[in-house]
A and B are shown apart, each in its own frame.
Chain A
Amino acid sequence: MLIRRASDIVPSEVTPESLFRARRTWLGRAALLGVAAAAPALPLASVMAQGARLAGVKPNPHYALAGEKTNPVTEFRSYCNFYEFGSSKSDPAQYAGTLKLRPWTVAVEGAVLKPRTFDVDELMRLAALEERVYRLRCVEGWSMVIPWVGFPLSALIQQVQPTGQAKYVEFTTLADRAQMPGVRSGILDWPYTEGLRLDEAMHPLALLTFGAYGEMLAPQNGAPVRMVLPWKYGFKSAKSIVRIRFVEHEPRSAWMKANPTEYGFYANVNPNVDHPRWSQASERRLGEFGKRKTLLFNGYGEQVASLYAGMDLQKFY
């Protein structure tokens, strides 16, 4: 194949971007099949495209959520809140397909002894991946049950060694105007940021997530790496993360900036604290006709309530 310099290419030869991206995805998938067929013993990280099966991931029996049915993967992939791709639930599935997932780096920085920029494939190998079935409760009053694949964020935090100054962790999502139509139309103050107190981030439930339903995350679900915090409303779980920063002061999240009276820093699922637009007392589990009572901390109170001992949850919502 002849490689030409940019100056040699006449404009008429330039493939439209969308076509180019579609082709790239296709080539990526084709290459993947080739790789998978030729070298089944290849380390997991080299099998990187979205939708690839994550072989050898074991379900963690402590987080099996017996008695609750997992939502179908079609619901998980078609009904998403990911404002970088648009504000309607169907926008992410429609527009995120072209998100370029490799190369992808995550800068881990701030008040840590060992700041480091990880390649996402490297990051994925930091600890053993496991499957955990978690409830996901959206602030809008619906919920799902999803089998995520990842490892506790604490494994990463231990690697970078926070200093005494690190009281909070801030997550930043990619904000690329070229790839993300929602970023171009400026609905929120991009980039999307979210935050946790350090002890929340260290909690074993806080999952640094790379996959779901046994496969790599689809872009509309926050590929290649996102947080999952099952005791908090969905928007706390930042998607498509590019930076994790350790800071001294409570960071202001994108939703707090957008509407400080409606969104607080903690955003713990709490049926007793209503959002002005949605009652939080009950929820509709997707796929069900009736509504369920919403549980305090989304049913994870036994594990997380101690994090908030003595705090007025009406005030710190």
Chain B
Amino acid sequence: MSERWQPSPRAVQRMRWALIALASLPLGRLVAGAVLGTLGANPIEAVTHSTGTWTLVMLAVTLAVTPLRRLGGWPWLLRLRRTLGLLTFAWACLHALTYFWFDRFFDWADIVRDIGKRPFITAGFAAFVLLVPLAATSTNAAIRWLGGRRWQRLHYAVYAVAVLGVAHFVWLVKKDLREPLIYAAVFALLFALRIAGWLQEARRRARDAKSASPLAMRRKAF
């Protein structure tokens, strides 16, 4: 295989800034809409829906990095994943803040009651809580401190976040399930691609192990 194109570290850094700018566009639209009064008859609902949607979209984009890396042969995409994950968390914070502030006015007793009472809030809150340690361990120092294996295991929690996020959406709609089911399908596809990747990896490892055995080496020598 010929040498594949690899972006320079500077190019990767530029891509990160571009992603941050791109993922912030909807926020700009929301702020402009709030100032200009163009968010419709129920602006707070519009903000809740928009921030919730972008949290889920960013989560899907983050989870798409690994399959794309493999399928597209773009290993360097990995260097954008942390940025995407943190953008997901940033949107989740805005979404949660919208609820804590505009829906509950920081009435914590009421919030705790609500989390216990309404299943869709329970799921959304659980997803948010799970995102916190993932964001907190995103620094190089944290990865070193945890060690790669443990860091990896902790970050499997992102799959639970996806499942809880979709459950949150499914449970909050009154009747029309089409939109949450589209997200469910997207995440199912992303999961399936990952599982396919793991299986392929396992098979390759098994093959490598076989070819590395003394018998195989001798056979090769002939």
Contact = CB atoms under 8 A, between A and B. Distances in A.
A79 B118 contact: no
Nearest to B178: A185
Interface string A140-168: 10100000000000000000000000000
A293 to B, nearest CB: 13
Interface of B: 40-42, 44-45, 102, 105, 114, 117-120, 171-176, 178
A259 B117 contact: no
Given A187-B175, A290-B105, A78 B120 contact: no
A79 B171 CA distance: 22
B99 to A, nearest CB: 12
Contact of B40 (A89, A259, A289): A89
A258 B118 contact: no
A286 B41 contact: yes
A274 B121 CA distance: 14
A224 B151 CA distance: 62
Given A83-B175, A83-B176, A89-B40, 20 more contacts: A78-B40, A79-B41, A87-B173, A87-B174, A87-B175, A89-B42, A90-B40, A142-B42, A185-B178, A276-B118, A276-B119, A277-B118, A277-B120, A279-B114, A279-B118, A284-B44, A286-B41, A287-B41, A289-B44, A290-B105
A181 B195 CA distance: 39
A289 B40 CA distance: 14
Contacts of B176: 83, 87, 187
Q: Which of B44, B117, B171, B174 has the most CB of A within 10 A?
A: B174
Contacts of A90: 40
Contacts of A259: 175
Contacts of B118: 276-279
A107 interface: no
A199 interface: no
Interface in A281-306: 284, 286-287, 289-291
